[in-house]
Amino acid sequence: MKLHNKIDRKVLKEKLAKDTQKRVTLSFYKYAHIGNTRIFRDHMYWQWENIGVFGRVYVAQEGVNAQISVPEANWEAFKQAMEDIVFLRGVRLNIAIQDDGKSFYKLKIKVRHKIVADGLNDDTFDVTDRGIHLNAEAFNELTADENTIIVDMRNHYESEVGHFENAICPDVDTFREALPLMEEQLTDDKDKNIVMYCTGGIRCEKASAYYKHKGFKNVFQLEGGIIEYTRQVREKGLNNKFKGKNFVFDDRLGERISEEIISECHQCGKPCDTHTNCANDTCHHLFIQCEECATEHQGCCTDVCQAFISLPEETQKELRKGIVAHDKQYVKARTSPFLENKEVQAKVWEYVGRG
């Protein structure tokens, strides 16, 4: 039985673009004890593939982390599939704030060591002894207290386009970098209220337990993350303390939470909060680009990437041999293997010169 979709992604994206059926984009996570992750993964893939679920899912012995889209017509079948898995019954489903149904184009379920890469040894502390959950109203109230410190547990490219008022936003590429950095920065504030937030809550589940283990007295986390906060704010007419966009890990790359634009185009500097994936498939660098620069630079992050995509396909294939391959949707670090490879870049300009 086929338990992987190996059709070319360009073909799948074209198919999705033409598909008129409505889809619901959502995310969820659940910490649990999964014995045989491979069997669980295959069972989930078989169930979800049959009802047309797309998305990216990580399965580990510690639980499940999923960002997916479901055909609206199969919503009841999806909920029943969730009910069939005992530990997923009643799990919070974070429905997307802005959704065009084009967030994912195929189903990908991977077995990982952890559902979020945190670099922690879970055997050294109780991961279930987490911080106190706050709903939107309680979050607004507690964060207005001068004895409260707000910590964004996301990465720099996420907080760059949107974050809560007065939040500390670590300048890091990964969650595992943020944990020790914030522990050190908050060493003298262990008696204050530490309120953490992330996209959907999963990173704060682990971070809050870790910081409690490290001696922080009053640890809190935003329940359901930015996604659930936004839903509650809009439903209850509360004051929205989040400014800008919420970065999301699918093809949308962002959801508009407030009208403020707090970041700028990485190429021209004008106000902009539109993330894009460099059009050079050998680069895939994630960066912010305005419409004008997207047109001028053909969706590329640098001149060398723009030059690269102008070369014949056979030449591009030859030059790719010197690049470390990756299967990521985009490269989230400050640079990409392509941009770091000066030898390949020199060859690109050599080929362009010949043309």
Active-site residue set: 198
Residue count of the chain: 355
Task: Please report how the helices 202-213 and 175-185 are oriented relative to each other, as an axis angle in degrees rounded to 10.
Answer: 40
Between strands 193-197 and 148-152, the pairing is parallel
CA gap 110, 299 in Å, rounded: 30
DSSP designation for 190:
T
Chain center to CA of 230: 17
What tokens were used for 246? 């919420």
| Exposed / middle / buried, residue 288 (Cβ in 10 Å: 0-12, 13-18, 19+) | buried
The two counts, helices (H) then strands (E), for the chain are: 13, 14
The residue to which tokens 């959907």 are assigned: 200
Q: Are 101 and 25 in contact (CB under 8 A)?
A: yes
